């Protein structure tokens, strides 16, 4: 079998990661996902005051700092058993949703669809339309996404002062109430984005589009006129399917979701036992069933990671993050390998929608599986749902004027103990596990969504989700394997990826 | 045309995300109206990363002009001085940056990480981070303090965690239009770093009369009890609002001093250290005895609308 070495490099993602892929003929037979940047956040948090996590952890990620802040505050509230008033939950949810809409628009139209402008697709009938829509800095949708993603985070600035990186969620609530001025500002910002979304992204009124519930209804909609077919989501779907992305990049069949957005009606329960607006669960890909989620079932392995080794997997409360950089060993990444019930799982908007029981995504999944197109489609479908949910939240806040936005904790110090905060960030399941001893942080473990998806092999040698979504893929033109770019970007990697293919035995790269 | 190359080192991508929020001018304006040609930006460039290799090669061989080099992120020098916690193509980004800066007309540090080390350099600084020309507040980072770019300027530090969106785009617009950029003692453009954060804060009337909050979620000043560093920090947060809307202090979040070289401070970020009733760290350049006299008088003079916190911030 002939072996080839090529190099594919990716940008338009967040952070740093390499892919090392082994090709046999034109088929990928092995894949290693390499998180190459080490920043040491978990070490920096040790010995600090617990509240400092609200300042430090948003800086883990420039695109999902609000979700990091939420995970940190939920962990503190869990530890200290603090109640949160409904208005605070609504304001938190509104800001989390605004951040996710921002991220999904940028991921879709600044990062993902630009690939459709690749010269390789010059001969496709949709090419000119795709370029007119998606070309960086020039395409109509690209420019619309730049503008509208910029404005939607103004909603976060109304309550948090700024985006990115604020610390307005504090134990017991939020720092600013929803004044009538904020609510009207929030609504006008939301309405402006919603009108653009309806006109340019779905070509349909929001409620009508959200009413599509089956695969047939969706494909009938797609063909019912130019406004649908040439909408951003119409073009994205037609280009993806012409290229075959609806048959590629499925990865592991198991999925998790922590559920999203604390239910403000549930005032009985404290985090993490509060009900959520979007359900948590584990989709067991072997049985096809959705089972209850239990964070006790999470472990992290370091067999193939550059951390001080320990056998098997450990729950984050027993977690250990001691760097042990061994570039010339068989260990290959700064990511740990998280497992749920000892299974390789994926997380993200597709997992969230399936576990929540969203009918259209479920129907499309049953028809064709969890492919690269559906993963991307699920992300934009979520945007539509969130725009509707944000409008509802603003109206609920308006219906409860003057309700408290914070219940200041009686004790100003966070007591010793442990707590965790599990949230759904734009890229999926995000968890913080916190232990406090003698008034300071004694352990802080973070599992980001990308840690789940970009996982290396575990102690048993089982590949992570991205790795397995590439293994078996046939690369048509190894000198320009653009399909790999589509697949990796469909996962919304929060890492800057380089993908390079290796010769067996002899590791060849183009750099020294 | 002004050729611009943007590299990310040890970063969260927050300065890029922040810059996407700029509106005066916006990123599109820089391209459309100021003739900035983005040779490379990791989040935005359409071409594959191979283009970056080619570009770097051409720049280093003086075949491609590099007018502005933007660096986002801490310079990671670990482990053991190798820089390999942050690699690029089997070498360290640290060494790549060291070569590229010599070719640039201007070098701009986008954010506190690139300027001074930032959050990654917080104790115990596990990856041995530095800024480009400073190590926290100490002169000399990756580059010695006397280093100058081809146009004779030190690294221009647009500090902030993240940097303010419009401070970034305005600085780039100034460079592209040949406007002078005057720097302060920490090499930050004075245009954005000569006002205190609390100048323009909507809680200032409370501050003036010494009416201070002791818990979060309220309306008064955050300086005396809740860790706010607004009176000691220079930045435009309250004179050119974030996302065109607000600022942390307006929203009841303390200023954490994120434009300062020693951000993040290594003590409790949500509590003000005090000697008796008065903070250890006073507003910039104020003498303690004068300040104590002024504050006790101020509180006596406070009107009821302030004392009773009747005013929304």
Minimal Cα–Cα distance from A63 to chain B, Å? 6
**Bind-site residues of A for Ni(2+):** 61, 64, 494
The full set of domain ranges for chain A reads 3-470+477-509
Does A161 lie at the interface with B, CB-CB under 8 angstroms? yes
Does A138 lie at the interface with B, CB-CB under 8 angstroms? no
Q: What is the tens place of the pLDDT at every residue in A17-63?
A: 677 888 888 888 888 888 777 778 888 999 999 999 999 999 988 88
Lowest-pLDDT range of A29-33, B193-197, B282-286: A29-33
pLDDT > 80? residue A11: no
Q: What is the tens place of the pLDDT at every residue in A175-204?
A: 999 999 999 999 999 999 999 999 999 999
Does B28 lie at the interface with A, CB-CB under 8 angstroms? yes
- The percentage of residues in chain A with a pLDDT greater than 70, rounded to a whole number, is 92
Q: What is the tens place of the pLDDT at every residue in A218-271?
A: 999 999 999 999 999 999 999 999 999 999 999 999 999 999 999 999 988 888
DSSP state of A117: G
Report the pLDDT value the prediction gives residue A267, as an integer from 0 to 100.
85
> Given phi > 0 = left and psi -120 to 50 = alpha, else beta, which region is A476?
alpha
Query: Beta strand A17-24 with A497-502: parallel, antiparallel or unpaired?
Result: parallel
pLDDT > 50? residue A504: no
Minimal Cα–Cα distance from B287 to chain A, Å? 29
Q: Do domains B2-192 and B195-312 have the same CATH topology?
A: no
- Residue A267 half-sphere exposure toward CB, CA atoms < 13 A: 9
CATH number of B195-312: 4.10.480.10
pLDDT > 50? residue A505: no
Smallest Cβ distance to B243: which of A110, A157, A327?
A157
Minimal Cα–Cα distance from A59 to chain B, Å? 6
CATH number of B2-192: 3.40.50.700
Q: Which residues of A touch B269 (CB under 8 A)?
A: 49, 51-52, 55
Give, in degrees to the nearest 5, the angle at Cα A239 between A235 and A244. 145
Interface contact flag, B86 A60, Cβ < 8 Å: no
Architecture of domain A3-470+477-509: Orthogonal Bundle (1.10)
**Could you tell me which residue, B42 or B226, shows the higher pLDDT?**
B226
Please identify which residue in the block is written with the tokens 């960086």: A136
The mean of the pLDDT values for chain A is: 90
pLDDT, average across residues B82-88? 89
| Nearest alpha-carbon partner for A378 in A401, A355, A345 | A355
Q: What is the tens place of the pLDDT at every residue in B22-65?
A: 999 999 999 999 999 999 998 887 777 778 889 999 999 999 99
Q: What is the tens place of the pLDDT at every residue in A352-368?
A: 999 999 999 999 999 99
A292, β-bridge pairs: none
Report the pLDDT value the prediction gives residue A475, as an integer from 0 to 100.
78
Report the pLDDT value the prediction gives residue A24, as an integer from 0 to 100.
85
The full set of domain ranges for chain B reads 2-192, 195-312
Report the pLDDT value the prediction gives residue A15, as an integer from 0 to 100.
54
pLDDT, average across residues B104-116? 98
Does B215 lie at the interface with A, CB-CB under 8 angstroms? yes
| Cβ B248 vs Cβ A162: under 8 Å | yes
ipTM: 0.97
**Bind-site residues of B for [3Fe-4S] cluster:** 237, 255, 258
In order of B9, B25, B103, the CA distances from B4 in angstroms are 16, 16, 12
| Nearest alpha-carbon partner for A386 in A506, A238, A261 | A261
Report the pLDDT value the prediction gives residue A95, as an integer from 0 to 100.
98
Report the pLDDT value the prediction gives residue A36, as an integer from 0 to 100.
72
**Bind-site residues of A:** 42, 61, 64, 446, 494, 497, 500
Q: Band of the pLDDT at A487, cuts 50, 70, 90?
A: confident
Report the residue of chain A nearest B38, measured CA to CA. A137
Does A60 lie at the interface with B, CB-CB under 8 angstroms? yes
Burial tier of A508 (Cβ tally within 10 Å: 0-12, 13-18, 19+): exposed
Does B49 lie at the interface with A, CB-CB under 8 angstroms? yes
pLDDT > 80? residue A477: no
- Residue B93 half-sphere exposure toward CB, CA atoms < 13 A: 26
Lowest-pLDDT range of A169-173, A178-182, B155-159, B290-294: B290-294
**Bind-site residues of B:** 12, 113, 161, 198, 201, 221, 228, 237, 255, 258
Interface contact flag, A37 B252, Cβ < 8 Å: no
Maximum separation of any 2 CA atoms in chain A, in Å: 72
Q: What is the tens place of the pLDDT at every residue in A419-463?
A: 999 999 999 999 999 999 999 999 999 998 988 998 999 999 999
Q: Band of the pLDDT at B87, cuts 50, 70, 90?
A: confident
Q: Which residues of B touch A7 (CB under 8 A)?
A: 50
Report the pLDDT value the prediction gives residue A508, as an integer from 0 to 100.
27
In order of A167, A432, B32, B227, the CA distances from A68 in angstroms are 10, 8, 35, 21
Interface contact flag, A56 B264, Cβ < 8 Å: yes
Q: Which residues of B touch A60 (CB under 8 A)?
A: 12
| Cβ A478 vs Cβ A24: under 8 Å | no
CB neighbourhood size of B228 (10 A) = 30
Report the pLDDT value the prediction gives residue A42, as an integer from 0 to 100.
85
Report the pLDDT value the prediction gives residue A509, as an integer from 0 to 100.
27
> CA torsion sign, B257 to B263 to B269 to B275?
negative
pLDDT > 90? residue A76: yes
pLDDT > 90? residue B301: yes
Q: Which of A480-484, B126-130, B148-152, B274-278 has the highest mean pLDDT?
A: B148-152
pLDDT > 60? residue A325: yes
Report the residue of chain B nearest A64, measured CA to CA. B14
Smallest Cβ distance to A157: which of B46, B119, B245?
B245
pLDDT > 50? residue A135: yes
Smallest Cβ distance to B253: which of A48, A136, A166?
A166
Report the pLDDT value the prediction gives residue A12, as an integer from 0 to 100.
56
Lowest-pLDDT range of A321-335, B99-113, B249-263: A321-335
| Nearest alpha-carbon partner for B7 in A37, A157, A202 | A37
């Amino acid at each position: 079998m002939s072996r080839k070495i090529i190099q594919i490099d990716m940008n338009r993602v967040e952070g740093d990661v390499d892919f090392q892929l082994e090709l046999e003929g034109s088929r990928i037979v092995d894949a290693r996902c390499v998180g190459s940047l080490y920043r040491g956040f978990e070490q920096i948090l040790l010995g600090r005051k617990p509240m400092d996590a609200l300042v430090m952890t948003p800086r883990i990620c420039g695109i999902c700092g609000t979700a990091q802040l939420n995970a940190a505050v939920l962990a503190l509230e869990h530890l200290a058993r603090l109640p949160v008033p409904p208005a605070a939950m609504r304001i938190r949810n509104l800001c989390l949703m605004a951040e996710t809409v921002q991220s999904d628009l940028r991921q879709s139209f600044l990062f993902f669809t630009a690939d459709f402008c690749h010269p390789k697709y010059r001969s496709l009938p949709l090419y000119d339309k795709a370029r007119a829509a998606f070309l960086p800095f020039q395409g109509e949708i690209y420019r619309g996404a730049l503008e509208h993603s910029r404005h939607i985070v103004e909603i976060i600035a109304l309550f948090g002062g700024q985006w990115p990186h604020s610390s307005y969620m504090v134990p017991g609530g939020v720092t600013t109430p929803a004044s009538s001025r904020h609510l009207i500002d929030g609504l006008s910002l939301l309405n402006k984005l919603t009108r653009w979304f309806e006109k340019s992204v779905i070509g349909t009124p929001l409620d009508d589009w959200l009413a599509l519930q089956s695969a047939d209804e969706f494909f009938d909609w797609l063909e019912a006129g130019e406004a649908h077919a040439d909408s951003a989501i119409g073009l994205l779907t037609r280009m993806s399917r012409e290229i075959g992305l609806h048959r590629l990049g499925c990865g592991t069949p198991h999925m998790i979701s922590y559920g999203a957005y604390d239910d403000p009606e549930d005032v009985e329960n404290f985090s993490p036992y509060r009900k959520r607006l979007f359900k948590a669960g584990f989709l067991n890909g072997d049985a096809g069933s959705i089972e209850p989620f239990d964070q006790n079932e999470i472990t992290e392995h370091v067999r193939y990671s550059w951390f001080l080794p320990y056998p098997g997997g450990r729950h984050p409360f027993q977690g250990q993050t001691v760097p042990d950089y061994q570039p010339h060993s068989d260990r290959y990444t700064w990511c740990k390998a998280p497992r749920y019930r000892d299974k390789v799982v994926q997380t993200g908007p597709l997992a969230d929608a399936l576990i929540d029981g969203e009918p259209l995504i479920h129907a499309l999944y049953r028809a064709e599986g969890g492919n690269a197109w559906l993963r991307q489609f699920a992300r934009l479908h979520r945007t539509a749902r969130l725009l509707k949910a944000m409008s509802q939240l603003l109206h609920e806040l308006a219906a409860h004027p003057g309700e408290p936005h914070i219940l200041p904790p009686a004790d100003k110090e966070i007591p010793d103990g442990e707590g965790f905060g599990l949230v759904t960030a734009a890229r999926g399941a995000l968890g913080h596990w916190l232990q406090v001893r003698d008034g300071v942080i004694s352990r802080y473990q973070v599992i980001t969504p990308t840690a789940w998806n970009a996982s290396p092999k575990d102690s048993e040698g089982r590949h992570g989700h991205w790795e397995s979504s590439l293994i078996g893929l046939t690369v048509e033109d190894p000198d320009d394997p653009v399909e790999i770019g589509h697949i990796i970007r469909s996962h919304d990697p929060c890492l800057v990826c380089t993908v390079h293919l290796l010769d067996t035995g002899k590791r060849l790269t183009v750099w020294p | 045309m002004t050729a611009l190359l943007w590299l990310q080192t040890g970063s969260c991508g927050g300065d890029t995300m922040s810059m996407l929020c700029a509106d005066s001018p916006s990123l599109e304006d820089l391209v459309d109206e100021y003739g900035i040609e983005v040779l490379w930006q990791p989040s935005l460039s359409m071409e594959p990363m191979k283009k970056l290799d080619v570009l770097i090669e051409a720049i280093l061989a003086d075949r491609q002009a590099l007018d502005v080099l933007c660096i986002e992120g801490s310079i990671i020098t670990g482990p053991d001085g190798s820089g390999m916690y942050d690699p690029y193509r089997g070498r360290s980004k640290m060494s790549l940056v060291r070569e590229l800066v010599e070719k640039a007309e201007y070098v701009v540090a986008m954010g506190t990480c690139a300027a001074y080390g930032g959050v990654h350099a917080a104790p115990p600084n596990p990856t041995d981070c530095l800024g480009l020309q400073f190590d926290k507040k100490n002169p000399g980072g990756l580059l010695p303090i006397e280093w100058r770019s081809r146009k004779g300027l030190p690294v221009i530090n647009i500090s902030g965690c993240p940097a303010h969106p419009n401070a970034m785009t305005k600085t780039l617009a100034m460079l592209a239009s040949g406007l002078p950029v005057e720097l302060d003692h920490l090499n930050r453009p004075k245009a954005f770093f000569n006002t205190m954060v609390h100048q323009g804060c909507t809680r200032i009337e409370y501050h003036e009369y010494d009416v201070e909050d002791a818990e979060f979620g309220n309306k008064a000043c955050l300086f005396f009890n809740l860790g706010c560093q607004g009176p000691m920090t220079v930045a435009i947060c309250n004179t050119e609002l974030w996302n065109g809307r607000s600022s942390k202090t307006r929203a009841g979040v303390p200023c954490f001093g994120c434009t300062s070289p020693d951000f993040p401070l290594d003590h409790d970020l949500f509590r003000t250290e005090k000697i008796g009733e008065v903070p250890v760290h006073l507003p910039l350049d104020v003498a303690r005895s004068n300040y104590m006299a002024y504050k006790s008088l101020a509180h006596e003079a406070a009107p009821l609308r302030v004392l009773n916190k009747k005013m929304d911030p």
